[in-house]
Structure 1
Amino acid sequence: MDPVIENNPGNLLQLVERSAFVGFWRFDARHGALYWSQQLARLHGAPEGYMPTFEHALDHYAEEHRAEVAQRLRACQEQGTPFDIEVQVRTLQGRRIWVRCVGQPLRAEDGSIAGAEGLVQEIAPAGYQPGTLLRHTVSMGGALGSGEAFVTIDRQGRISYANEQAEQMLGAAGEPLLGRRIWGFFQKRARLSLEERFVHALEKREAIELEEMDAQVSHWLELRGFPFGAGLALHLRDVSARRRAQQHLTLLEGSIARLNDIVIITEAAPFRSPGPRIVFVNEAFERRTGYSREEVIGQSPRLLQGPDTQRAQLDRIRAALEQWERVRVDLINYTKAGEPYWVDLDVSPVWDDTRRLTHWVAVGRDITERKRDEEKIQYLAFYDPLTQLPNRQMLLDRLNRAVDEGGEVQDGALMFIDLDNFKVLNDTLGHQKGDLLLQQVARRLRNCVAKGDLVARLGGDEFVVLLENTAEKPLDPLTAAQVVSQRILDGLGEPYVLPGYLHHSTCSIGVTLFGRNPSSVNELLKQADLAMYQAKAAGRNAVRFFDPEMQAVATANATLATDLRQAWRENHLKVEYQPQVGMDGNMSGVEALLRWEHPERGIVGPAEFIPTAEETSLIIPIGHWVLEAACAQLAVWARRPDRAHLSISVNVSVRQFRHPEFIDEVLSCIRRAGIVPNRLKLELTESLLAENIDANMAKMRNLKDLGVRLSVDDFGIGYSSLSYLKRLPIDELKIDRSFIKDILVDGNDAAIAGTIIGLCRNLGLEVIAEGVETEEQRAFLARQGCHRYQGYLFCRPLPIEELEAFIDSAAGGAGVPLRPEPSSVAS
């Protein structure tokens, strides 16, 4: 066995002192003495004989690494803990370099710790990122010296010039070099690769990067090539001594028993069965594998392999060793107890001075934790951490494969699933219970599909199911989607047991089929999404399949949204006002109504574009603009005694009301206009009462504290709760026009209108009916107790200029009823 392997301290120091790239240090704590080798002094840019104190030596490390080095040294001396770290040092000239610093306890004859000793090895320049280089690779760097061999070659690879050093390095028995091809001077197994590199460099006019090649004259040459005229200029350097030093360093690392790296040295037998036998392992090997040195010496490294050891990586090792080449792989090994672990394994051949292969050295770093972290990162990239379902990224990858024309999937179905009223649960019971519900939904969805189908979570309460018709699972997609969607409706409709609460929930499902007609992934997602919203519109707890009519509606909505944005930018929106009249015919106020003057379609009513404004959030700036216009008009009327009593009602959308700055915006508009707040009336939709009732009531009280009056618009057609209604700080209810239209012929409409009027009377609220178009309707309402009206019987919505003229002409002065002639009603 090589004497280096015996871990003899004398050999250790001798080999280190012979190495131009490794520094040795030793600290004797008993005498406070620190020894630096000459190589370590040179590494720090210090003169020969430089010997710092132990405390001063720490100053040579970069500031950000100094504390770590001090802590590692302290643990080594106090607990005997070896260390192996990569840090930066600063030379005396201020240059930063990365080094590998290895330390182990220095023990006295009685076994007590007397200090510490170790190695410092330069591994890379300042730009290096730790952990990216091989642990025992030696970085030489530097420029090629002027005493190097130099040759030029032509486009055929023939030497056209050689200096004296080249003749001495490559020449044999005085044979001339000129005219000989350069790759002929290297070993046969390297010749083909080298010839390919030269031919490529000559054709592409590219430089040849630093290479170390095995020459025929039994030494290693370092080679660099640069384009020169029609050929290449080559620099050659004999690096045989350095290569031997590298090999000694490899063995040296294996001889330090307490290194963290696992070291295995085998004999240089052929790799075929029975293969090389182990001749040495270090203590780190024994600690990690559970095998003692006696158990493995003479055995094959195959005893570390197991069921998950990658055959492809083993084949890479075998192929490299058969070519006497170094190889590095990430490999799964097994401990004596059968536990798998990952190792970053670097296997290198070792030659003696006569170029005879003597050993294989395998140095491995345990990377099990890193692999686990990588698996976690991979999992987080493709799975939802809450539900453990695939996420959007995995869905898109799978869907792209499914719609690929060259794939095996012939056709399939994509299903969008959205939980109904999930936000209500989150807002009332908290996000923790919402998360528990989502986890239960995920489990139920998995049970609703067959093996091979994909269930994914897009985010929030949105899920997707991908059904694929494959050769292993042939089924008509339409039939499969119908069966699975009904199974999902039933499964998700069962009660959910949450802590202290039994929750009932439903879902809405949109389905689109693919495969028969080419569709992109984005198109399929949009189609399923559209179908899901159709299921929502149908009353929830329903399934809808995509059809082209849905797409046409969606396209029209998108066009409408684009036109609306342009209308807002170009001031095509305007406000009109419709009078509100009392029983005596006197006008008590007006309602501000938004209108859109479309350049092609004419006047567009709010019922057509307000939903689009809500969806695109344009309702926020538009609603603020209407509020400012109403306050400004109230300020104008306040300066006229015959108009000062008038109020203006402004419609407020749900999204606008829930905006966190809505209260501040109302207050700002009132203050800028300088108006009396009770002349401003805000009409709120009844849907506000459906959820977040406590938060909404608090905001309504804030508005009432400002002096603003509140009205509930379209009362009776949405969500109604009398228990909440009596708590609301409102002033007025508006009977929806849908009940007024047939109030004279439909007993139900008449009963509902009468009930609302009676409710307001009992709760002390004002009531107003909208959509009043005939005197008979007004008279009926008056008999029921409703004495305020709005509708075409009195006046259609008018621009402010026309409204002012209409008031003046119809009234002829204050107090005259606004009762137009019958002929004007139709207008």
Structure 2
Amino acid sequence: MQSVIAHNAGHLLELVERCVFLGFWRFDARQGRLYWSEQLARLHGAPPGYTPTFADAMSHYAEEHRPELEARIRACREQGTPFDVEVQLNSMQGSHTWVRCVGQPLRDAQGEIIGTEGVVQEIAPAGYQPGTLMRHTVGMGGALGGTEAFATIDRQGRISYANVQAEQLLTPGGEPLVGRKIWSFFQKRARLRLEERFLHALEQGEGLELEEMDAQVSHWLELRGFPFGAGLALHLRDVSARRQAQQHLMLLEGSIARLNDIVIITEAAPFRAPGPRIVFVNEAFERRTGYTREEVIGQSPRLLQGPNTERAQLDRIRAALEQWERVRVDLVNYTKGGEPYWVDLDVSPVWDDTRRLTHWVAVGRDITERKRDEEKIQYLAFYDPLTQLPNRQMLLDRLNEAVGRNVQGRDGALMFIDLDNFKVLNDTLGHQKGDLLLQQVARRLRHCVAKGDLVARLGGDEFVVLLENTPEKPLDPLTAAQVVSQRILQALGEPYVLPGYLHHSTCSIGVTLFGKAPSSVSELLKQADLAMYQAKAAGRNAVRFFDPEMQAVASENAALAADLRSAWRDNHLNIEYQPQVGMDGRMTGVEALLRWEHPGRGPVQPEHFIPTAEETSLIIPIGHWVLEAACAQLALWARRPDRAHLSIAVNVSVRQFRHPDFIDEVMSCVRRAGVPPGKLKLELTESLLADNLESVIAKMRNLKEMGVRLSVDDFGIGYSSLSYLKRLPIDELKIDRGFVKDILTDGNDAAIAGTIIGLCRNLGLDVIAEGVETEEQRQFLARQGCHRYQGYLFCKPLPIEELEAFIARVEGEAGITPEPSSAAS
């Protein structure tokens, strides 16, 4: 029986000792990128520099545990549910071990979950059973009832249970222990520290490991505490003989010399200058510090200290040793050559047989590599590895502090910076050059701000600058923001030298001021972001300041978005058709135009609600509905010889076109309606051509191969470039109504319209002018070579029933030319 208990006790201690922090991980779901620390990589058996995918990392966990782990991570990412599970890990090298995976949701500044993060602890090698550690902790008390001292304490540190061995160990007379506080059994000078450590462990629900001298019987006790209910379960053991043997062993020079840990022995002298002198060091000390034994014997340990040695840790050592107590600290020491290194330093007093203090023994384990790993993890938690700038987390921390300080009357400015057309650079020249550009942008931003101001990277091509009004730079925040923003515009507008390429870029800046009224961090970020989008709308390469009017516009847009969603759900949207006619006045087709009659607002113009549909992604289902309606109407006309020649043009938004299922949706609509694809014409805006041109061209070619006709709408006002226009597989260009409106009075508009018409003639493209309202405009366009028109001169947009009546009326009249409709109608 005792052998079984001893085995269980040894197994418990082994498990506890192995529960150490091993690795850190973070998964960003937006970018699909997984980061893991070097410690976690080593645990997986990964080679240096190996970058895993999420699926790759998951593949190393045992198949029987993987579904649960994946489900926990998925619930964490989707519902924000933290998790704590024990699973078996199979490393790349073929070894097996049990680990504890702890995770929590990773959130952005708005509190949205963008991924997961956590740590991994190694628990035990293969063969370990989940829950073993807790079962041993809780159940060991009964098993040890006849072999080892065991007790439990409540949240106040009072003993609630103790076996006979515990009573004999703590009170040789066998007095009852229940109700007495555990620290009352130790030496008076150690009680306060013991009480503090016990209460801290109880409050935090942590384990405890102590070794102190008993007050009554003057022997050394080893205590191990484990969370148990609301208190701790304690195992006590008399280690007096072991400790005395260790102390004697440490004094044996031959044995100490072979230790890998650094060992220093000093005399037991007072701590006033010059303090205790070194009487012995081992070979490990000589190897690590570069000092020879002869150089340090008789010297003070202060020779190992340097500029980064923490005074607080030295004070801890001095305070403990003055009480003749053992102390353990992490300390920065320095080699003979001035190189810093970290040691886990354990300093203990040594007594002779008469209890007279004779020496101090310091044993130091080199933990430099561990500290570097911790610093690296800390760095990754608060800095962007690409630009070396503070990341979102550090920005939020600093911004919270700044907002808190503003209660004291100090204010500042927050600047949101977004690079213009950065995606074009990434798509055309590759992400490597995009990363180089971001690094140069970061360096320029640092030079644009004063010392103490914060420059951070939020992600992608978004940067934030935090300006604070401090006694060192008491500049008005508005003035400071104006000066710095103009400095940034100029700096980021200078050419960037990339390998084999000279790149020109600009940025848009949104600024919000804070301090005059209470503001939350999320409000400030939203305000600066909103101002930045106003700068984009103003033409880019601009600065805009947030103001209440801007907020009012944002609120109005939010209300409009809610109403639009309701209108779509309740079928309050409809389609009108505007005829397109040829030179002889006969209809060649129509353009399908989306209309919204709001019950409270009345008619809402498309230029107002279409951008909202784009931003909310409602444009995807709405656009699909318009496509289906157009194809259904073409099917009806195809059955009538007098209508079969008509085509329908449908506007396609940028977001709709870029949807991965767009081509399949068009094919499905055409196939279900059973209409010739050539009768369907898709009108694309020039803004579609600004990003990822090769992908756009590939999609357009697929549509052309289906037989669908393609037109570029509003040509001449967007991103037109003759260098790529010839590559586009299009059938038609549409002259924007802005050029047609003043074509008779503005020479520039007339020249532009003539140029577009000539361009189409040379490229073999059809051309149509929209917004034609007078016969004089039509005649001018006809003289230039444009023979297809759309506008109020011929007919306003009509519901399908009124359009059918209009067509019948025109066809029934004598002659060919339809009766003109008044532009005012």
Q: With structure 1 as the length reference, what TM-score do the two structures score?
A: 0.73
The count of corresponding residues between Structure 1 and Structure 2 is 700
Deviation at 1:733, TM superposition (A): 1.9
Q: Name whichever of 525-534 and 718-727 sits farther off.
A: 718-727
Deviation at 1:526, TM superposition (A): 2.1
Deviation at 1:591, TM superposition (A): 1.0
Partner of 1:402, secondary structure, is: helix
Deviation at 1:469, TM superposition (A): 1.6
- Does residue 1:673 correspond to 2:689, yes or no? no
Deviation at 1:176, TM superposition (A): 13
Contact 2:637 2:644 survives alignment (8 Å): yes
Deviation readout 1:588-633 (Å, 9 max, x if unpaired): 2111111224332233232111112223333233323322322232
Equivalent runs, 1:270-281 vs 2, <5 Å? 270-281=270-281
Question: Aligned AA for 1:214?
Answer: D
Pair 597,326 (structure 1): closer, same or farther in 2 beyond 3 Å: farther
1:641 alignment partner in structure 2 = 641
Larger Rg: 1
What is the distance in 2 between the residues matched to 1:339 and 1:759?
Answer: 72
Deviation readout 1:498-517 (Å, 9 max, x if unpaired): 33333333322222222223
Identity level (%): 82
Deviation readout 1:408-445 (Å, 9 max, x if unpaired): 77122222222333333333333333322222222222
1:613 alignment partner in structure 2 = 613
What is the distance in 2 between the residues matched to 1:742 and 1:97?
Answer: 77
Pair 360,632 (structure 1): closer, same or farther in 2 beyond 3 Å: farther
Contact 1:149 1:169 survives alignment (8 Å): no
Contact 1:391 1:456 survives alignment (8 Å): yes
Deviation at 1:171, TM superposition (A): 6.1
1:420 alignment partner in structure 2 = 420
Contact 2:414 2:524 survives alignment (8 Å): yes
1:400 alignment partner in structure 2 = 400
What is the distance in 2 between the residues matched to 1:159 and 1:458?
Answer: 53
What is the distance in 2 between the residues matched to 1:335 and 1:521?
Answer: 46
1:36 alignment partner in structure 2 = none
Partner of 2:364, secondary structure, is: strand
Question: Aligned AA for 1:642?
Answer: D
Deviation readout 1:276-319 (Å, 9 max, x if unpaired): 33333222212111122333334332221122211110111111
1:495 alignment partner in structure 2 = 495
Pair 331,161 (structure 1): closer, same or farther in 2 beyond 3 Å: closer
What is the distance in 2 between the residues matched to 1:462 and 1:368?
Answer: 36
Deviation readout 1:30-70 (Å, 9 max, x if unpaired): xxxxxxxxx9999799xxxxxxxxxxxxxxxxxx99x9xxx
Partner of 1:404, secondary structure, is: helix
Partner of 2:669, secondary structure, is: helix
Partner of 2:513, secondary structure, is: strand
1:259 alignment partner in structure 2 = 259
What is the distance in 2 between the residues matched to 1:438 and 1:199?
Answer: 50
Question: Aligned AA for 1:769?
Answer: A
Deviation at 1:328, TM superposition (A): 1.3
What is the distance in 1 between the residues matched to 2:188 and 2:527?
Answer: 64
Pair 175,392 (structure 1): closer, same or farther in 2 beyond 3 Å: closer
Partner of 1:312, secondary structure, is: helix
Pair 583,152 (structure 1): closer, same or farther in 2 beyond 3 Å: closer
Question: Aligned AA for 1:436?
Answer: L
Deviation at 1:343, TM superposition (A): 0.7
1:729 alignment partner in structure 2 = 729
What is the distance in 2 between the residues matched to 1:689 and 1:168?
Answer: 84
Equivalent runs, 1:404-803 vs 2, <5 Å? 404-405=404-405, 410-803=410-803
What is the distance in 1 between the residues matched to 2:397 and 2:176?
Answer: 63
What is the distance in 2 between the residues matched to 1:354 and 1:97?
Answer: 49
Structure 1 unaligned blocks of 5 or more: 1-19, 22-38, 46-63, 68-87, 89-95, 99-122, 130-140, 227-231
What is the distance in 2 between the residues matched to 1:681 and 1:543?
Answer: 40
Deviation at 1:242, TM superposition (A): 4.8
2:310 alignment partner in structure 1 = 310
Question: Aligned AA for 2:501?
Answer: Y
Contact 1:412 1:468 survives alignment (8 Å): yes
Question: Aligned AA for 1:215?
Answer: A
Deviation readout 1:126-179 (Å, 9 max, x if unpaired): 8999xxxxxxxxxxx8754448899999x999999998996897468x999999
1:819 alignment partner in structure 2 = 818
Contact 2:574 2:596 survives alignment (8 Å): yes
Pair 180,355 (structure 1): closer, same or farther in 2 beyond 3 Å: farther
Contact 2:794 2:820 survives alignment (8 Å): no
Deviation at 1:333, TM superposition (A): 0.7
What is the distance in 2 between the residues matched to 1:247 and 1:339?
Answer: 31
Pair 501,749 (structure 1): closer, same or farther in 2 beyond 3 Å: closer
What is the distance in 2 between the residues matched to 1:422 and 1:233?
Answer: 60
What is the distance in 1 between the residues matched to 2:244 and 2:642?
Answer: 109
Contact 1:793 1:820 survives alignment (8 Å): no
- Superposition RMSD on alpha carbons, in Å? 4.8
Question: Aligned AA for 2:539?
Answer: G
What is the distance in 2 between the residues matched to 1:344 and 1:418?
Answer: 46
Partner of 1:574, secondary structure, is: strand
Contact 2:345 2:365 survives alignment (8 Å): yes
Contact 2:417 2:462 survives alignment (8 Å): yes
Q: Name whichever of 244-253 and 733-742 sits farther off.
A: 244-253
Deviation at 1:577, TM superposition (A): 1.9
Structure 2 unaligned blocks of 5 or more: 13-41, 46-88, 90-96, 100-121, 129-139, 227-231
Equivalent runs, 1:189-268 vs 2, <5 Å? 189-190=189-190, 213-220=213-220, 240-244=240-244, 247=247, 255-268=255-268
Contact 1:726 1:763 survives alignment (8 Å): yes
Deviation readout 1:653-709 (Å, 9 max, x if unpaired): 223333344333323332333321111111111234445444433432332222111
What is the distance in 2 between the residues matched to 1:177 and 1:579?
Answer: 99
What is the distance in 2 between the residues matched to 1:389 and 1:723?
Answer: 38
Partner of 1:717, secondary structure, is: coil
Question: Aligned AA for 2:760?
Answer: C
Partner of 1:403, secondary structure, is: helix
Contact 2:793 2:820 survives alignment (8 Å): no
Contact 1:489 1:541 survives alignment (8 Å): yes
Contact 1:309 1:333 survives alignment (8 Å): yes
What is the distance in 2 between the residues matched to 1:150 and 1:789?
Answer: 96
Contact 2:158 2:178 survives alignment (8 Å): no
Deviation readout 1:95-130 (Å, 9 max, x if unpaired): x999xxxxxxxxxxxxxxxxxxxxxxxx9998999x
What is the distance in 1 between the residues matched to 2:157 and 2:526?
Answer: 61
Partner of 2:540, secondary structure, is: coil
Pair 571,256 (structure 1): closer, same or farther in 2 beyond 3 Å: farther
Partner of 2:797, secondary structure, is: coil
Pair 128,807 (structure 1): closer, same or farther in 2 beyond 3 Å: same
Q: With structure 2 as the length reference, what TM-score do the two structures score?
A: 0.73
Pair 271,248 (structure 1): closer, same or farther in 2 beyond 3 Å: same
Deviation at 1:364, TM superposition (A): 1.5
What is the distance in 1 between the residues matched to 2:168 and 2:415?
Answer: 77
Contact 1:807 1:818 survives alignment (8 Å): no
Contact 1:768 1:786 survives alignment (8 Å): yes
What is the distance in 2 between the residues matched to 1:748 and 1:514?
Answer: 46
Partner of 1:378, secondary structure, is: helix
What is the distance in 2 between the residues matched to 1:435 and 1:209?
Answer: 49
Contact 2:794 2:821 survives alignment (8 Å): no
What is the distance in 2 between the residues matched to 1:150 and 1:455?
Answer: 56
Question: Aligned AA for 1:497?
Answer: V
Pair 324,409 (structure 1): closer, same or farther in 2 beyond 3 Å: farther
Pair 540,276 (structure 1): closer, same or farther in 2 beyond 3 Å: same
Deviation at 1:361, TM superposition (A): 2.5
Pair 181,521 (structure 1): closer, same or farther in 2 beyond 3 Å: closer
Question: Aligned AA for 2:291?
Answer: Y
Q: Name whichever of 596-605 and 239-248 sits farther off.
A: 239-248
Deviation at 1:331, TM superposition (A): 0.4
1:78 alignment partner in structure 2 = none
